Amino acid sequence: MPQFRQIIDEARAILPFTGAGISTECGIPDFRSPGGMWTKNRPIPFDEFLASQEARNESWRRRFAMGDEFGNAKPGRGHRALASLYRAGKVPAVVTQNIDNLHQASGIAPEHVVELHGNTTYALCMDCQQRYELSWVRSRMEAGNGCAPDCTACGGYITTATISFGQAMPDTAMRQAEALLLSCDLFLAIGSSLVVWPAAGFPLMAKRNGARLIIVNREPTDFDDIADLVVRGDIGTVFEPFVDDGSSTDVHRL
Ligand code: NAD
Ligand code: ZN
């Protein structure tokens, strides 16, 4: 921990890169957690979503079931520590694989949260990008015998603002992530197994560009060998000393 603190203190521009592990203490299971929501159902591939009304209905039913379970999640100590470092000017922005909106909820401005996989807390028309709130989709489904509604402006399909399996990575977010990566002097990988692209490419890119690399995860990753420091522990506990938001550091649980 003293070494962790020292590297954070010495850094001028820290780029946190976060995965599902930062949100587990908030009650949202990570990808690999046995029996978790994400592992119970086969993911609906993007082409199936496009091809079938029933796949769209099913995808929305799952989303609302998930919302009933995780909808009230609050930022955890990891999120709050990063928000504290952001306010202190050490963290210009956060790049995340998460879709849970908890970095924004912790006080980081939305334009400073780069979401590689999108955001599941609101919906968009796939054709004209019109925004819809989930409560609207839900009430339309309830009124329409469980049938997922289409865009009222253009008739396009409405989905949560996330990237599905089989869909391309969003260009703007990828460009922003790469620019941040190339301008940071410390790349801080938090709670990601670092096995999925592009997450698997980022640590090496940052290192090659001269940044230091810290990996915080309770399990080993393939990049531990090239890291300047590996902190093998619980994210909430590791980041608790960096929470500086004037409130108590109770773990938020659902
Ligand atoms: P992952 O499940 O592949 O890896 C999470 C890692 O975090 C694991 O290595 C695990 O050991 C570690 N971890 C979990 N809790 C921890 C804790 N308290 N302290 C320390 N380490 C902890 O997650 P990923 O790399 O983000 O990839 C999963 C994919 O699924 C992502 O693409 C993400 O978009 C999506 N997902 C998102 C959420 C979310 O938004 N909260 C949740 C689950 C999955
Ligand atoms: Zn539309």
Same domain, 209 and 140: no
pLDDT of residue 70: 83
Among the atoms of ligand 1, which is closest to the Cα of residue 97?
A: 34
In total, how many domains does the chain have? 2
Q: Residue 136's domain spans which residues?
A: 40-72+121-162
Q: Supply the pLDDT for residue 253.
A: 43
- What is the pLDDT, as a whole number, of residue 123? 97
Indicate whether 47 and 89 sit together in one domain: no
Examine the domain organization and report whether 129 and 254 are in the same domain. Answer: no
Summarize pLDDT for 45-69 with one digit per residue, the tens.
889 999 999 999 999 999 998 888 7
Mark whether 117 is an active-site residue: yes
pLDDT recorded at residue 252? 47
Instruction: Give the residue-averaged pLDDT of 34-44.
Output: 67
Q: How much is the pTM?
A: 0.92
Residues 149 and 68 occupy one common structural domain: yes
Task: Give me the CATH number covering residue 130.
Answer: 3.30.1600.10
pLDDT at site 38 = 59
Are both 217 and 254 inside the same structural domain? yes
246 pLDDT higher than 70: yes
Within-domain flag for 201 = yes
What confidence category does residue 35 fall into, taking pLDDT thresholds of 50, 70 and 90? low
Instruction: Give ligand 1 pocket residues (Cβ under 6 A).
Output: 19-21, 23-25, 28, 30-32, 38, 97-100, 117, 191-193, 196, 199, 217-219, 234-235
- Residue 232 binned pLDDT confidence (cut-offs 50, 70, 90): very high
Q: Whose CA is nearest to atom 43 of ligand 1?
A: 30
5 found inside a domain: yes
Give the full edge-to-edge strand order of the sheet including 131-132: 131-132, 118-125, 158-162
Shared domain for 112 and 135, answered yes or no, is: no
Q: How confident is the model at residue 197 (pLDDT cuts 50, 70, 90)?
A: confident
34 within a domain of the structure (yes/no) = no
Same domain for 187 and 155: no
Q: What is the mean pLDDT of residues 22-36?
A: 81
- Which one is predicted more confidently, 33 or 233? 233
Reported as a single tens digit per residue, the pLDDT across 78-103 is: 999 999 999 999 999 999 999 999 99
Instruction: Tell me if 33 is assigned to some domain.
Output: no
**Strand order through the sheet with 212-216:** 113-115, 94-96, 14-18, 186-190, 212-216, 229-231
Residue 105: inside a domain: yes
Averaged confidence pLDDT in the chain: 92
Phi, psi of 212 (to 5 degrees): -80, 160
Q: What is the pLDDT of residue 169?
A: 87
Q: Does residue 2 share a domain with residue 89?
A: yes
Residue 37's pLDDT is: 57
Q: Which residue has the higher pLDDT, 35 or 219?
A: 219
221 domain residue, yes or no = yes
Query: Where among 162, 188, 215 does a domain terminate?
Result: 162
Residue 35 belongs to a domain: no
Q: What is the CATH number of the domain that holds 105?
A: 3.40.50.1220
